[in-house]
């Protein structure tokens, strides 16, 4: 049962492609009002066909607050609840019932969930609390752009229901060319307003006006009213972006460190630092900052949140960094996580193919190396046994003495070397050194034509050759 009279109001210009979707989500209201500010398409016709109250008026010079206030004036005074939306926004079904469940006769405003950015599957990427639902009287819109609803009395009574969800589907073809001059006007009208100063600095950054952006954002940070840490952190991040675009990387890092210190509970400054370090090829720093970001599981419901802090970006950075560091297993693990967050990303899929191939190939090479090392160890063990056997035969048959009798000039070297073999020293110093010496000695022994040694000598020479 409906307890209150609910009215929706909006402004519109050339939005015929949104009319059906928007109306279907808003029709839970009792009445719908739209101020058209100069449509040249079929927006007005389509709205009127659906029973929407439409008023036409061009606003010159253009200001969003003026347009909003005129549209609010269209709502009758007996309305209990006013709901301000745009035609690129959609309420999830059942919003009115949820609204009436928390509203009361003393309520002035309602806060609810606004999904500003969604992925291709309608999963929220950036969400924050919105507050464009209000009582009929004592409200007005202020500021030429990024307008806000101001309560003109004291002791505003605010209710909240985060289960009321409004999704935003922005029109990418719409120009924001009016934003910069309107923000400059906003700051001129109220130079002490920290919010508009921040927005103006951000807009300069969007336009690539790096120095103007830096100066304006520093002005924002120096305002006494600029106390909201989330927004201050954002200004510091934007300053860092500007310095990066000016190729002044040390200053960019300095400002990102300030941003981290300002709001260490936010992912955004850590991810921005990781992105900067990645551009510089500092993969250890990339990994470190990404890991710090991942520790922060939740996020504040404010417009400050960046899409890249909660999408596939962190795992993507980790994957590529681990790849270049040679840790292919972790590279593959993180690219799989990145794909799970962005399953239609073709670049990530290609990265996975490369990393999986490299990882599999690396495993095969490691297996081959392990096998080679195993067999080499077994050969070394066999050689040691054969050398010990040979040493015993040499001693038994007094071969060293025979060599001396034969008048070989290197008899003392051979004697000492053979003694070293008996103690295993030859093995200890490495097969690469003793190979030539063993073969040399074997040749000397063969000349003596002692049949009992022939098999041992043959085995030893073969093993030495196989261990090279």
CATH number of the domain within which 31 lies: 3.90.550.10
Place of tokens 């670049």: 347
What is the rounded average pLDDT of the residues 359-381? 52
Sorted by sequence, the CB contacts under 8 Å of residue 281 that are 6+ apart come out as none
Q: Helix or strand or coil: residue 174?
A: coil
**Within a 13 Å sphere around the CA of 68, how many CA atoms are in the beta-carbon half?**
21
- Asked whether residue 373 falls in the same domain as residue 359, the answer is no
- Asked whether residue 16 falls in the same domain as residue 94, the answer is yes
Cβ atoms 405, 430 nearer than 8 A: no
What is the rounded average pLDDT of the residues 434-461? 51
For residue 358, what pLDDT is reported?
65
Q: What is each CA distance from 460 to 16, 295, 350, 436, in whole angstroms?
A: 91, 60, 52, 12
- CATH number, domain of 215, equals 1.25.40.10
For residue 71, what pLDDT is reported?
98
pLDDT in tens, 167-210: 999 888 888 889 999 999 999 999 999 999 999 999 999 999 99
Domain contains 174:
no
Place of tokens 């004592």: 138
Domain contains 203:
yes
- Asked whether residue 314 falls in the same domain as residue 383, the answer is no
Q: Domain ends where: 168, 201, 218?
A: 168
pLDDT over 70 percentage in the chain:
75
Domain contains 396:
yes
Give the number of other CB atoms < 10 A from CB of residue 184: 17
**Closest to 378 (Cα-Cα) out of 308, 463, 279, 445:** 463
What is the rounded average pLDDT of the residues 370-374? 48
pLDDT at 14 over 90: yes
Number of domains in the chain: 3
Q: Domain ends where: 308, 328, 363?
A: 363
Exposure b/e, 34-44, CB count within 10 A at least 16 = b: bbbbebeeebb
Distance CA 233, CA 240 (A): 11
33 strand-pairing partners: 9, 53
Place of tokens 């600029």: 226
Cβ atoms 250, 273 nearer than 8 A: no
Question: Would you place residue 453 in the very low, low, confident or very high pLDDT band (cuts 50, 70, 90)?
Answer: very low
Torsion over CA: 228, 233, 238, 243 (sign):
positive
Domain contains 173:
no
pLDDT at 375 over 90: no
Q: What are phi and psi of 201, to 5 degrees?
A: -60, -45
For residue 385, what pLDDT is reported?
63
What is the rounded average pLDDT of the residues 334-342? 91
Cβ atoms 382, 352 nearer than 8 A: no
- Asked whether residue 241 falls in the same domain as residue 281, the answer is yes
- Asked whether residue 139 falls in the same domain as residue 40, the answer is yes
- Asked whether residue 329 falls in the same domain as residue 439, the answer is no
- Asked whether residue 134 falls in the same domain as residue 219, the answer is no
**Closest to 314 (Cα-Cα) out of 367, 279, 274:** 274
- Asked whether residue 217 falls in the same domain as residue 321, the answer is yes
Total-model pTM = 0.74
How high does pLDDT run on average in the chain? 84
- Asked whether residue 122 falls in the same domain as residue 218, the answer is no
Domain contains 397:
yes
For residue 384, what pLDDT is reported?
61
pLDDT in tens, 233-290: 999 999 999 999 999 999 999 999 999 999 999 999 999 999 999 999 999 999 999 9
Distance CA 131, CA 52 (A): 23
- Asked whether residue 380 falls in the same domain as residue 298, the answer is no
Q: Helix or strand or coil: residue 105?
A: coil
- Asked whether residue 21 falls in the same domain as residue 161, the answer is yes
Place of tokens 């009002």: 33
56 strand-pairing partners: 36
Query: Which residue did the predictor score with more confidence, 441 or 122?
Result: 122
Distance CA 241, CA 441 (A): 72
For residue 286, what pLDDT is reported?
97
Q: What are phi and psi of 157, to 5 degrees?
A: -100, 110
pLDDT in tens, 47-60: 999 999 999 999 99
Question: Would you place residue 402 in the very low, low, confident or very high pLDDT band (cuts 50, 70, 90)?
Answer: very low
Distance CA 34, CA 461 (A): 98
Distance CA 280, CA 266 (A): 23
Task: Find the helix packing angle between 268-279 and 229-245, rounded to 10°.
Answer: 10
Cβ atoms 391, 438 nearer than 8 A: no
pLDDT in tens, 36-85: 999 999 999 999 999 999 999 999 999 999 999 999 999 999 999 999 99
Domain contains 188:
yes
For residue 440, what pLDDT is reported?
54
Domain limits for position 111: 6-168
pLDDT at 465 over 90: no
Distance CA 442, CA 51 (A): 108
Query: Which residue did the predictor score with more confidence, 412 or 12?
Result: 12
Q: Which of 137-141, 283-287, 365-369 has the lowest mean pLDDT?
A: 365-369
What is the rounded average pLDDT of the residues 325-353? 88
Domain contains 414:
yes
Domain contains 1:
no
Query: What is the DSSP annotation of 240-258?
Result: HHHHHHTT-HHHHHHHHHH
For residue 140, what pLDDT is reported?
97
What is the rounded average pLDDT of the residues 384-397? 59
Q: Domain ends where: 145, 168, 191?
A: 168
Distance CA 199, CA 219 (A): 12
- Asked whether residue 128 falls in the same domain as residue 162, the answer is yes
Question: Would you place residue 302 in the very low, low, confident or very high pLDDT band (cuts 50, 70, 90)?
Answer: confident
What is the rounded average pLDDT of the residues 154-168? 96
Distance CA 369, CA 381 (A): 18
Top-confidence range, 160-174, 362-376, 411-425 = 160-174
Task: Find the helix packing angle between 210-222 and 229-245, rounded to 10°.
Answer: 160
Query: Which residue did the predictor score with more confidence, 456 or 128?
Result: 128
């Amino acid at each position: 049962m409906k307890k209150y009279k609910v009215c929706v109001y909006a402004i519109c210009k050339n939005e015929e492609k949104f009319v059906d979707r928007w109306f279907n989500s808003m029709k839970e209201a009792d009445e719908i009002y739209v101020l058209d500010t100069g449509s040249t398409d079929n927006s007005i016709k389509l709205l009127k066909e659906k029973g929407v109250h439409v008023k036409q008026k061009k606003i010159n010079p253009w200001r969003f607050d003026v347009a909003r206030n005129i549209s609010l004036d269209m709502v009758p005074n007996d309305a209990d609840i006013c709901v301000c939306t745009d035609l690129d926004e959609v309420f999830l079904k059942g919003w009115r019932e949820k609204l009436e469940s928390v509203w009361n006769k003393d309520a002035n405003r309602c806060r609810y969930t606004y999904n500003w950015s969604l992925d291709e599957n309608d999963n929220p990427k950036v969400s924050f609390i919105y507050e464009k639902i209000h009582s009929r009287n004592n409200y007005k819109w202020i500021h030429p752009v990024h307008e806000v609803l101001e309560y003109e009395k004291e002791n505003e009574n605010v209710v909240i229901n985060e289960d009321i969800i409004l999704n935003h589907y922005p029109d990418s073809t719409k120009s924001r060319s009016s934003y910069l001059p309107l923000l400059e006007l906003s700051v001129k009208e109220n130079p002490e307003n920290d919010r508009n100063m921040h927005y103006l600095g951000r807009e300069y950054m969007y336009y690539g006006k790096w120095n103007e952006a830096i100066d304006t954002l520093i002005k924002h940070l120096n305002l006494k009213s600029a106390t909201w840490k989330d927004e201050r952190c954002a200004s510091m991040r934007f300053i860092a972006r500007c310095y990066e675009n000016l190729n002044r990387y040390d200053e960019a890092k300095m400002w990102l460190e300030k941003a981290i210190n300002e709001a260490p509970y936010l992912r955004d400054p850590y991810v921005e630092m990781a992105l900067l370090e990645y551009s510089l090829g500092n993969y250890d720093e990339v990994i470190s900052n990404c890991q710090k970001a991942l520790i922060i599981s939740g996020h504040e419901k404010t417009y400050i949140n960046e899409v890249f802090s909660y999408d596939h970006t962190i795992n993507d950075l980790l994957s590529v960094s681990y790849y270049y560091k040679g840790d292919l297993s972790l590279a593959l693990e993180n690219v799989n996580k990145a794909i799970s967050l962005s399953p239609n990303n073709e670049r990530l899929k290609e990265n996975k193919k490369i990393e999986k191939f490299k990882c599999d190939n690396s495993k095969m090479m490691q297996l081959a190396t392990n096998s080679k090392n195993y067999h080499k160890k077994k050969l070394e063990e066999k050689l040691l046994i054969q050398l010990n056997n040979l040493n015993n035969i040499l001693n038994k048959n007094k071969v060293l003495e025979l060599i001396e009798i034969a008048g070989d000039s290197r008899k003392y070297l051979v004697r000492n070397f053979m003694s070293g073999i008996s103690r295993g020293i030859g093995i200890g110093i490495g097969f690469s050194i003793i190979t030539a010496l063993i073969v040399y000695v074997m040749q000397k022994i063969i000349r003596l034509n002692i049949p009992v040694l022939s098999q041992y000598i043959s085995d030893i020479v073969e093993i030495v050759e196989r261990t090279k």
